[in-house]
A and B are shown apart, each in its own frame.
Chain A
Amino acid sequence: MAMQLTPEQQAMLDGAQGEVMAKVVKTLVMYGETFGATRMVPVTGDKGHLVTSFGLSMLDPVYKLMDQLIEADVLSKQKFSMDPRPLDPAVPANLLQKLVFKFMYSKQEQYEAQLEKMGLLNKDAFTCTCYMDEVGNKPAEGEVLSWAESSAVVYANSVLGARCNRNSGIIEMFGSIAGFVPEFGLVTDEGRKATWVVEINTTKKPEAQVLGSAIGLKVMEDVPYIRGLDKWLGTELTGDVCAYLKDMGAATASNGAVGLYHVANLTPEARKQGESLLAENVKTYVIDDAELERVQASYPVIWKDPDATPKLCFIGCPHLSLAQLHQWTADLSAALAAEGRSKVAIPTVMTAAPAVAKAFRATPEFKKLEATGVVLSSICPLMYMNNPLCGKMPVITCSNKLRTYTSARYYKEDEILRYISKGGL
């Protein structure tokens, strides 16, 4: 069945608001029809979130498209946040790496000027964790969104109960421009049913980033219903639990293509609907300690020299919460003291949203973190690693997303803490 548009939507498609808007709507119609959508639904979320935050020279066609939209006054109907900026001079880089950054992201200034015209929330709205309280783009349960950025989409769907498909860059902007999105997939009740049950049978709290990786690799784009995690996380969405789910979800989305997960007795829809969220003929995946070890052991090491000494460590992909910054500071201070050191043994960058970093800098703990030599930044570690010269460096991380997309080597958080406080691997 073809898409049924309202008279207003049809008029937009027919060119009542100009040729450029007509092409925006045509794109959304074709996109929706590909997935069986029969109607558009209004974007009810207050703000958008766009994934393409980088003025990469290779994306010239995107900047030309932005010019077309802006010249035709076809702008976003809502303010939006963006993924993190790709550059921060505070993050360690040598002269050659800096030269490559300059070449790679030569369009950054020009692109940010376009974004401001299109509807950028503010100059600090560059983070993958726009849903943090300090940032101010936190959708309410049930709101329909037009977002991209896989880690933000899976968080909004799963932890906040909002409704958003895993959109591509540009498509998410078109939804914010048109004010509506095609109704399919995770926007529908049916699309939010779980087709997998994941049973957590571990003897200790699973490492969030490995658990998410295991789930993503197994279920790919399907919706999992996770049983047994409430044993370790409890049944309240506290700050710590939300941070755990943020990191777990990012790994499900990057190691697979998960856009929504339910956690029994914890996430909003699972609390309300329980196992009525299960579709018929669900498949089951049991995760125990051995399975998590198997998954972690399967990660390839793509360093040229697997025994190289790490030259950099990234913590915070997705960006850290304020509580996580406090926790890392406390843990690192204690670990360094135990080693009789005052500074980290490996240059280390912790990343957080500009607004979160600002809040943290206002606390006494910031001085403690600064004293350890850790750089607090709001950079996108992925964009840093996309510099071919940085990609050749031995970089370690506790982010499974960073591991998946770059040459960075993954270690659990306690291992990372040990390495940066002690040195070596």
Chain B
Amino acid sequence: MATFKGRPVVPGNVTAEALVTHAGFNTLASFQKALMFGDKAATCSDQNNPELHGKGLFGKALCLPQTIGSTTGGMVLFCACEMGRQPACLLFSKPIDSLAAAGAILAGVWSENAMPTVDSLGDEFLEAVKTGSTVTVSEDGTVTVE
């Protein structure tokens, strides 16, 4: 078991299975097909991200460095939450980017389905966590990986 301390951007407690990307997460490209065609598993449709492509995003502890891509990104994350297709939490190794922050905060303020979000967990977090690991997030930004 390894423990990491980050900054809670949207605080919350959750335990979920990890889904890890070491490349930037393209929010629009990843969620587009799932939201458009009502895929409840929110299967990642970003063909430029081999670590995630074809894998379900819903209910997973999404572990990532930061998000990339269109400035619609925050809005797409908000929509994913409102439509019940969101990851269980977002765990960033780096300081969160403005688009992801917008999405997490919009969901936190405007949606019933908030998405706990922690950033600045460090590069060692992304080295330690593997897809399939069990991740527990605490309100204070502590993340344990088993």
Contacts and interface: CB of A to CB of B under 8 A. Distances in A.
Nearest to B28: A405
Contacts of B47: 302
B68 A168 contact: no
Interface residues of B, number: 35
Contact of B102 (A56, A58, A170): A170
Contact of A23 (B73, B98, B102, B110): B110
A216 to B, nearest CB: 10
Contact of B109 (A30, A58, A60): A30
| Chain B interface, DSSP helix/strand/loop, else mixed | helix
A232 interface: no
Interface stretch (B14-22, B78-86, B130-138): B78-86
Contacts of B33: 388
Contacts of B102: 31, 167-168, 170-171
A58 B77 CA distance: 12
B75 A30 contact: no
A121 to B, nearest CB: 19
A51 B72 contact: yes
Interface in B48-74: 48, 68-74
A169 B36 contact: no
B13 interface: no
Contacts of A166: 71, 98-99
Interface in A158-175: 165-172
Nearest to A300: B48
Contacts of B74: 168-171
A143 interface: no
B108 interface: yes
Contacts of B70: 51, 150, 405
A34 interface: yes
Nearest to B72: A169
Given A58-B35, A58-B36, A169 B71 contact: yes
A26 interface: yes
A27 B78 contact: no
B75 A31 contact: no
Interface string B87-98: 000000000111
A34 B9 contact: yes
Given A30-B108, A60-B83, A302-B47, A170 B78 contact: yes
B32 interface: yes
Contacts of B29: 405
A167 B83 contact: no
Interface residues of A, number: 40
Contacts of B111: 61
A297 B137 CA distance: 42
B101 interface: yes
Given A26-B109, A30-B105, A61-B82, A169 B32 contact: no
Nearest to B101: A34
B141 interface: no
B32 A59 contact: no
B126 interface: no
Nearest to A57: B36
A130 to B, nearest CB: 14
A257 interface: yes
A40 to B, nearest CB: 15
A402 to B, nearest CB: 12
A221 interface: yes
Interface in A83-116: 104
A62 B109 contact: no
Of B9, B69, B109, most buried by chain A (CB within 10 Å of CB) is: B109
Interface string A133-174: 000000000000000111001000000000001111111100
Nearest to B77: A168
B119 to A, nearest CB: 8
Interface in A17-63: 23, 26-27, 30-31, 34-35, 51-52, 56-62
A65 interface: yes
Most A CB within 10 A of own CB, among B29, B68, B108: B68
Interface of A: 23, 26-27, 30-31, 34-35, 51-52, 56-62, 64-65, 104, 148-150, 153, 165-172, 185, 221, 254, 257, 300, 302, 386, 388, 405
14 contacts: A27-B106, A31-B98, A31-B101, A34-B9, A57-B36, A61-B79, A64-B82, A148-B71, A168-B75, A168-B102, A168-B103, A170-B74, A170-B78, A257-B68
Given A27-B105, A168-B98, A405-B70, 4 more contacts: A31-B105, A61-B82, A61-B83, A62-B79
